[in-house]
Amino acid sequence: MEQLMRDFFLFLSKNKSLTKLAKKYGLRFGASRFVAGETIDLAVAKIRELNKNGLSVTIDYLGEFVDNEKEANEMADNSIVAIEAIGKHKLNSQLSLKMTSMGMDISDAVVMRNMTRILDAAKQHNVFVTIDMEDYSRCQKTIDIFKKLREDYDNVGTVIQAYLYRTEKDIDDLNSLHPNLRLVKGAYKESPEVAFPEKKDVDDNYKKIIKTHLLNGNYTAIASHDEAIIEYTKQIVKEHNIPNDQFEFQMLYGIRNERQLELVKEGYKMRVYVPYGTDWYGYFMRRLAERPANVAFVLKGMFKK
């Protein structure tokens, strides 16, 4: 039943008509639990609140189905607005973005031009930028773009997904760049031809790449709400005397809030992924797909007086 619900919400996340409808009616139906707001001002207010509690942030201006140059340029403009807001308000925040939002599916020229604009602005305001990983069909191209950008910028990292068979090799191939990587399990529905279908295999591979990347001496962001993964990371850093400034934990805004604060009190760096914008629908559906408990939270919020 859980897998059916996951597949159902992932299917809904790709529906362009529902995406347009959601933009029209705003952050209703419980999405505000996972999305900071529709404007940069609302997002800034949330980031300030999180920073006061000792939490670091990475902010993401949400966007789905960008298929023309004008929209890609507008997405890049909004990312630069976010960077400038981080600098202006002296926020403890980085920026996350998707290559498809920057025009990767349109042309190499468009995505590289937009990424150069963003990274130049980020460098000016001392902001680190993480390139989110998307579905398998875009994995290699995302890594290729990341490698190209790293030739000129050191304020950029990317994401590696544990559920893909190729991941261990990607970690090895990228090691020469000494990259700052966010390591995740993976949230897209993929074929068993390219991804581990069983949770145990994904978890085992996740632990393997966490250990490898840490022992390689590279900065590692462990993005997981799984307590077993968090405890495993604590064990590894203790066993190998890895300093706390070489890694951080990351979680999504609105999920396991109390645990986030506990990790800060324990002396660990904890970064919250804070999305905002009007194009929240696809992101929201993927959050519902991840855990059935999220659906219960949303339904409770909808009918609560």
The ranges assigned to domains in the chain are 36-279
**Res 33: pLDDT:** 73
Query: Which residues does 100 contact at the CB level (< 8 Å), separation at least 6?
Result: 66, 134, 138
User: Yes or no: is domain 36-279 CATH 3.20.20.220?
Assistant: yes
Q: Write down the catalytic residue from 105, 170, 182, 271.
A: 182
What digits encode the pLDDT tens for the residues 1-15?
555 555 544 554 455
What digits encode the pLDDT tens for the residues 249-294?
999 898 889 999 999 999 999 999 999 987 766 666 666 666 555 5
Residue (of 78, 63, 226, 57) closest to 128 by Cα position: 57
- Quote the percentage of the chain above a pLDDT of 70: 80
d(CA 278, CA 292): 24
What digits encode the pLDDT tens for the residues 73-98?
999 999 999 999 999 999 999 999 99
Query: Which residues does 76 contact at the CB level (< 8 Å), separation at least 6?
Result: 102, 103, 114, 115, 117, 118
- Better-predicted residue by pLDDT, 19 or 58: 58
The C-alpha R_g of the chain, in whole angstroms, comes to 18
**Res 136: pLDDT:** 95
Query: Is 132 part of the annotated catalytic residue set?
Result: yes
Q: For tokens 């990317």, what's the residue? A: 158
Query: Is 166 part of the annotated catalytic residue set?
Result: no
What digits encode the pLDDT tens for the residues 217-254?
999 999 999 999 999 999 999 999 999 999 999 998 98
3-state class (DSSP) for residue 134: coil
Q: Write down the catalytic residue from 60, 105, 132, 203.
A: 132
Q: For tokens 């992932």, what's the residue? A: 10
Q: Does residue 275 contact residue 36 with C-beta atoms inside 8 Å?
A: yes
